[in-house]
Amino acid sequence: MSRNDSAMVPFEERKHLASQVKGLRQSAGLKQQDLADLVGISRQALSNIERGATPQIENLRKIYEALGADLQTSNRSADTTVWLGIIGGMLDTLDRHRQGKAGQAAVNAIAAVIAEPSVSGLPENNDPRQRSDYALAAHEEIDETGEDTY
């Protein structure tokens, strides 16, 4: 990752990357002071990162490099990262059987929105009888009483 790219890493992603530092350090068999010395930061700064502080991406890059780990960042917007976390959290509450169906329904609903023509000035169509099959996919396993049929 170039230095220019690092300035564009969203806060949420830096927080996620920082949350993995303690496990990576422990897997490498290093004490906090050892890693801090390798990276060129104080032991207290490293401790803060491991307890949830969100560091600058440059410090994360140095930590990951010292640990021999790959610093994978994405070009997602902060909003996308938040929504992925919300959807992922919701999927995690479901049993395995329902996770696949719910995940597919979410993908289908997003695909339907992408496929919809966007014409400004027109009201949204909220008539469920006229929604696409993709938009209704999330409700395919609900019977006429509103209960899940799983």
Q: Which DSSP string corresponds to 66-105?
A: HHT---------HHHHHHHHHHHHHHHTS-HHHHHHHHHH
Question: What pLDDT, on the 0 to 100 scale, is given for residue 122?
Answer: 46
Question: Do the beta carbons of residue 63 and residue 32 sit within 8 Å?
Answer: no
Say what the pLDDT of residue 20 is: 87
The span from the CA of 107 to the CA of 111, in Å, is: 6
Mean of the pLDDT values across residues 72-87? 71
Which range of 42-51, 108-117, 140-149 scores highest in mean pLDDT? It is 42-51
CA 102 vs CA 87, 95, 106, 126: distances in Å: 10, 10, 6, 22
Segments of the chain assigned to CATH 1.10.260.40: 3-67
Residue type present at position 39: V
Query: Each residue of 115-142: pLDDT tens digit?
Result: 877 655 545 555 555 544 544 444 454 4
List the one residue out of 72, 84, 77, 56 whose CA is nearest residue 24: 72
CA–CA distance, 1 with 140 (Å, rounded to integer):
43
84 touches 13 (CB < 8 A): no
Please, what CATH class does the domain formed by 3-67 belong to? mainly alpha
> Would you state the structure tokens that stand for residue 66, as one six-digit string?
């010292």
- Report the predicted TM-score, pTM, of the whole model to 2 decimal places: 0.47
pLDDT digits (tens, 9 = 90+) for 85-115: 788 888 889 998 898 899 899 888 888 888 8
Residue in 22, 8, 1, 11 with CA at minimum distance from that of residue 85: 11
